[in-house]
Amino acid sequence: MHRSDAITTVLFDMDGTLIDSETIWIEAIQAALAAKGIALSTEEITRIEYGRAWKDIFHDIHTCWPEVYTTIQEMEAFTVPYYEKVTATRDISIQGSVSLLKRLANEGYTIGIVSGSTRERIAAVIDKLGIRSLVAGYVGGDDYPNGKPAPDGYLAGARLLGAHPSQCIVFEDAPAGIASAKNAGMICVALTRTSNHKAEKTESSDNEHCQPDLSLDDLESFSFSLLA
C-alpha cells in the first residue's frame, strides 16, 4: 500500500496557499515600520515575514527595535487596518487551491487549516471563501507553542481532527511550512506559483528531509496518483 492510500485528513496552510496575502502583509509591516522611521527593503521584510507565525514575526521586530511597537496589539492597530483596506477591494483567493479544497471535501476527506495567523483572521478568511461547511477545524498561531518550521502546528491540527500524522497530507507554499509538515511526519505538497523568491528558497534548502513530496504551480492539478 502506498502512503497516500492511508490519507484521511487534508491540512491546508492559509496565507500564500489558499489566499495570496503574503505580499500584502509584507507591505503592511513595511509601512508600519516606515511610520516609525524604520526603512527596510521588501527583501528584508520578506525574510522576517515569509511563511512564519505572526507572533514570531513580531518577536523578531520587537527584539530589533523594542521602542517602535511595544506590544503586538499596538502593531496590529496599524497592520490589520492596512490589510483590510487593501483586501476590501481585491479578490486574493487562490482559485486553484480553493477548488482543490472543495474537491477533496466532496470526496470525503476531513479538511483542516493550519496557519500562523490568528484564529479570528482564519475564521474571517473561511467565511470570505465560502468554505465554512467544508472545514472541520482550524488552528492558529496562538494554538501551539512553536511556529513553523517546528511541527507543533501540524501536529495540533492532526490532534484536533483525530488523525495520526501518517494519515495527513499538507498543502503549503513556504519553506518553513514545508519543513513543519515534514517534521510532523506528514506528506507535503508545495505550491510554487507565487514567486521565484519562494521557489528558490525551497529548492536551496540543504535539508533533504524538509523537501516537499511534490511541487505544483497550481494545486487544482493535484491528484493522489502524482505521489505514486
Q: pLDDT tens, 12-44?
A: 999 999 999 888 999 999 999 999 999 999 999
pTM: 0.85
Q: Which of 52, 69, 87 is the last residue of a domain?
A: 87
Q: Which of 71, 87, 103 is the last residue of a domain?
A: 87
| Residue in the structure block whose three cell numbers are 511595544 | 70
- Are both 108 and 71 inside the same structural domain? no
pLDDT the model gives residue 49: 87
Of 129, 159, 162, nearest to 143 by C-alpha is: 159
- Are both 105 and 26 inside the same structural domain? no
The 10s digit of each residue's pLDDT in 40-85 is 999 999 989 887 889 899 999 999 999 999 999 999 999 999 999 9
Measured over the CA atoms of residue 47, residue 49, residue 51 and residue 56, the dihedral's sign is positive
Residue 40 DSSP code: -
Q: Check whether 95 has a pLDDT greater than 50.
A: yes
C-alpha cell at 113: 487549516
Range of the domain at 98: 3-20+93-227
- Are both 156 and 184 inside the same structural domain? yes
Q: How many domains does the chain have?
A: 2
Between 198 and 60, the higher pLDDT residue:
60
